[in-house]
Structure 1
Amino acid sequence: MTGVTIKAIIVDMGGVLLRTETQEPRRKLAARLGLSLEELYEIVFESQESKLLQLGEVSYEQAWDTLAQRFGLDQRGLAEVQHQMFEADRLDLELVSYLRRARGTVKTALLSNAGTRLRRTLRENHIEDAFDEAIISAEVGVMKPDPESYWIALNRLGVEPQEAIFVDDFAANVEGACRVGMLGIQFTTTQDLTERLDELLRTARAQAGGSADMPRLEIRSYDPTDLPALAELINTADRVDNAGRAMTERALAEWLNRPSVEPARDLFLACVGRTLVGYVLAERRPETELDRIGAIGIVHPAWRRRGVGEALMVHIEQHALGKKADKPLFLEMVTRESVAGAAELACSLGMRPVRYFSYMQCSDLGKYAEPTLPAGIRFRLLDPSRDVQSFTAAYNDAFSDHWGYSLTTIEEVEHWLHSGNYHPGDITLAVDDDDSIAGFCALLFPQMEPEMLKSNPPMVDDLGVVHRFRRHGLGRALLLAGMRHVHSLGHEVIALEVDDDNPHRAQQLYESVGFSVVSRSTAFRKRL
């Protein structure tokens, strides 16, 4: 390799990026069809029909129809066979993340013996951006280890054979690449491969007179000394995303100090050298019948679509599995549409959209009418010295029928009321003649640098009515009271976020007093 610079990494799909986690489903399928596992593999992967599929001479449907006819399967039976054949296949997200990061240093390509359906698989799993080129045998009409297949990949990337590394799980395909002049690696494990690639890239750069180090991503636990860098990361990202996440160091410290959060255990940072490029926090949200882990995080805009988000999420998924109890466990993340690549990341991890939310704003607050209260109800401000217990009970009652709600504790309410995010007058209560809480409007005034406040107006953080006081216009009255309070402090815009499927048609209420949708968010979920 003396004097040679590595300019490309070319990898196989099946057996490298996509691997079978366990053979058990295939053993059961083979037994069901009266075959040995080896015979099943020969039919599916090595038969004449399979080779024609990989050369693009028959379609996916035609190839499987042949198998269906052989075993007398109807369409339903064939679908069951296909599912059982591939149900244990898993995409190696860690390796995909590595290739995305590598694209900042070298070119990357996929070279696979496969049918044309693989193109759809890449698209559906949102991993096309991990490669500069994807060469599929059915599209080019030639299979590995034919030398022509390697030359197609090299020519598309614009590199010479000695400038490329090729990775495959089959020795014959690796040998074919070596005969062309490429450096071949037979895949064994992800760790072994990434370590070998790192070493080869470092050696090649050193011999070429360049830097010997390729930036390597490290995922580590949070330390309190990381607070300034974490605040800077969040604020830098929000200047691009305008997602309302910006906050001061003090506000961030208070957010991390909530009773439900243990930063030293549940907060992880992605670093390249000494540079913080992303973070993710695992927040447990237990419910009666299931447990949820909410993944809250961000990737620096300059490091997006380079595998950082995938690496963080793979790490948090393993972390969440360590907390799994007897109840079903789900991993969740909410993505704002303004955050580039976030929804793609969720889909690539096998997460599916389960809920949609609208971020709404209302301006010109001075024109709205005085709120009208139902008979026997009056307004007063929350008193932290005497209302904590009753407010917590009212809060849990008001939101008990909302999607994804986890009970709020007295400790969490006390932390909120004693944090810098709370100010006298921020929480208006509606109470009856017995001073029982009937509803509330809690406002949030973002704690962030002054230059960012214009694009992040005050918010109606929580608006709720206790069940037995509903259907009397109390929610509307509380909302108007909150809007008037915000206006009295000199603000002209107020915002809120609402579940599009809110069980009480809250969005219609908001629209009726002048709110309109500015952007949307999606909640993604995956069972672990």
Structure 2
Amino acid sequence: MATTFTAAEVAEVTALADRARAADAVAPFSDDLFPAVGSGATMAALTARAGDLLVGAAYAAAQGDRLAAELVVDPAYRRQGLGGSLLADLLDFLTGELWIWSHGDHPAAAALARRHGLVRARELLQLRRRIAPGQFAEPTLPDGVRLRPFRPGRDEEAWLEVNNAAFHWHPEQGGQTLDDIRSAESAADFDPAGFFLAVDADDQLLGFHWTKVHPHDPSPGPDGIDEPIGEVYVLGVAPAAHGRGLGGALTIAGLRHLADVAGVRTVTLYVEGDNTAAVRLYEREGFTRHAIDVAYRRD
């Protein structure tokens, strides 16, 4: 069994994912994991064909400190056992703990997971809200705190220290490295003007709000519109700065930028389902549940 896709297969898998997204209104692969397919960083790469047409694919790659997998079947070839075969082959090929994502929490995925003895182990909520130009006033900051944009080449170390302290418990966001942030800075969607740092009078970093703008909505839903969409990509506060209202102020600063500067009308974010404090913060700012991504675990 292959561990990586060929260049031709990468193009086919991408086209297959596009067909599934068009039919389901939900992207089958995550922005966090799917880049491993193109970079050759996968540890398993499976395909299913009907003649010359690629109709199913599955892969596994490192996601933070875990091994995670995703799979997709062409909408025109579902209910023929292809998903079960791909999952069985994946489980046979890989040993040890494995996390398998279902984007959109589809009942068929839940049934497939049960048949293979997988445990529902993680829920990632996608929350959304609409925004409009001029809707947000300048945020109120604690005394001695100001906001400024991230400075590439100068702020990486400080950001790493605060991020890794704020997300020490998180399997992907915790443990970020200098290579990780530099790689993110080279991406097409990186804009330091939308990456806000809250600093004190000595320019010590207290918290941050990293926003992004995507040209297409990856999961518009059945009645949604495929339009540019903003994202609360990461928002974190240094543990020592908790209790000062920085989370709410940083949230407003990012939303204001997305509405007034980036010009998007919908903002999305992802938050762990069991992170009640963060969920409450975002609900206070008008976010509501849009979708759920579920990770099933094989121990």
Bin of the TM-score, shorter chain as denominator length: 0.7 to 0.9
Question: 2:120 matched to 1:346?
Answer: no
CA distance in 1, matches of 2:2, 2:73: 13
Contact 2:216/2:227 (8 A) holds in 1:
no
TM-score, scaled relative to structure 1: 0.50
Task: Kindly report which structure 2 residues correspond to 1:29-44, keeping only aligned pairs within 5 A, or say none.
Answer: none
Please tell me whether Structure 1 or Structure 2 has the larger radius of gyration of its CA atoms. 1
- Where in structure 2 are there 5+ consecutive unaligned residues? none
1:277 equivalent in structure 2: 55
Displaced runs of 4+ in structure 1, greater than 6 A?
none
- Which AA in structure 2 matches 1:242? A
2:125 equivalent in structure 1: 358
CA distance in 2, matches of 1:307, 1:219: 21
2:263 equivalent in structure 1: 490
Contact 1:220/1:270 (8 A) holds in 2:
no
Question: 2:104 matched to 1:330?
Answer: no
Larger % of helix: which?
1
CA distance in 2, matches of 1:335, 1:282: 13
Task: Kindly report which structure 2 residues correspond to 1:408-419, keeping only aligned pairs within 5 A, or say none.
Answer: 408-419=176-187
Contact 1:221/1:269 (8 A) holds in 2:
no
Structure 2 vs 1, CA of residues 483 and 465 (structure 1 numbering), >3 Å: closer, same or farther?
A: same
Identity %: 27
CA distance in 2, matches of 1:285, 1:313: 18
Counterpart pick for 2:24 among 203, 216, 241 = 241
Structure 2 vs 1, CA of residues 433 and 486 (structure 1 numbering), >3 Å: closer, same or farther?
A: same
CA distance in 2, matches of 1:352, 1:460: 29
CA distance in 2, matches of 1:363, 1:485: 14
- Which AA in structure 1 matches 2:22? R
Does the residue aligned with 1:354 lie in a helix, a strand or coil? strand
Task: Kindly report which structure 2 residues correspond to 1:74-89, keeping only aligned pairs within 5 A, or say none.
Answer: none
Structure 2 vs 1, CA of residues 266 and 373 (structure 1 numbering), >3 Å: closer, same or farther?
A: farther
- Which AA in structure 2 matches 1:270? A
CA distance in 2, matches of 1:253, 1:507: 26
CA distance in 2, matches of 1:466, 1:506: 14
- Which AA in structure 2 matches 1:506? A
CA distance in 2, matches of 1:235, 1:257: 15
Q: Structure with the greater relative contact order (CA < 8 A, sep ≥ 6): 1 or 2?
A: 2
2:235 equivalent in structure 1: 463
2:282 equivalent in structure 1: 510
CA distance in 1, matches of 2:121, 2:113: 12
2:91 equivalent in structure 1: 317
Question: 2:70 matched to 1:296?
Answer: yes
Contact 2:17/2:27 (8 A) holds in 1:
no
Question: 2:166 matched to 1:388?
Answer: no
Contact 2:58/2:72 (8 A) holds in 1:
yes
Q: Deviations over 1:134-174 (max 9, x none)?
A: xxxxxxxxxxxxxxxxxxxxxxxxxxxxxxxxxxxxxxxxx
Contact 1:293/1:330 (8 A) holds in 2:
yes
Contact 1:441/1:478 (8 A) holds in 2:
yes
Structure 2 vs 1, CA of residues 493 and 402 (structure 1 numbering), >3 Å: closer, same or farther?
A: same
Q: Deviations over 1:208-267 (max 9, x none)?
A: xxxxxxxxxx9884012223222211111111222246899xx99956466xx614x443
Corresponding residue pairs, total: 292
CA distance in 2, matches of 1:498, 1:436: 26
Larger % of strand: which?
2
Structure 2 vs 1, CA of residues 286 and 317 (structure 1 numbering), >3 Å: closer, same or farther?
A: farther
Indicate the RMSD between aligned Cα atoms, in angstroms. Answer: 3.0
CA distance in 2, matches of 1:461, 1:440: 11
Structure 2 vs 1, CA of residues 269 and 448 (structure 1 numbering), >3 Å: closer, same or farther?
A: farther
Structure 2 vs 1, CA of residues 403 and 253 (structure 1 numbering), >3 Å: closer, same or farther?
A: closer
CA distance in 2, matches of 1:419, 1:425: 14
Per-residue deviation, 1:361: 1.0
2:210 equivalent in structure 1: 442
1:223 equivalent in structure 2: 6
Per-residue deviation, 1:431: 1.8
Counterpart pick for 1:475 among 243, 247, 257 = 247
Structure 2 vs 1, CA of residues 492 and 357 (structure 1 numbering), >3 Å: closer, same or farther?
A: same
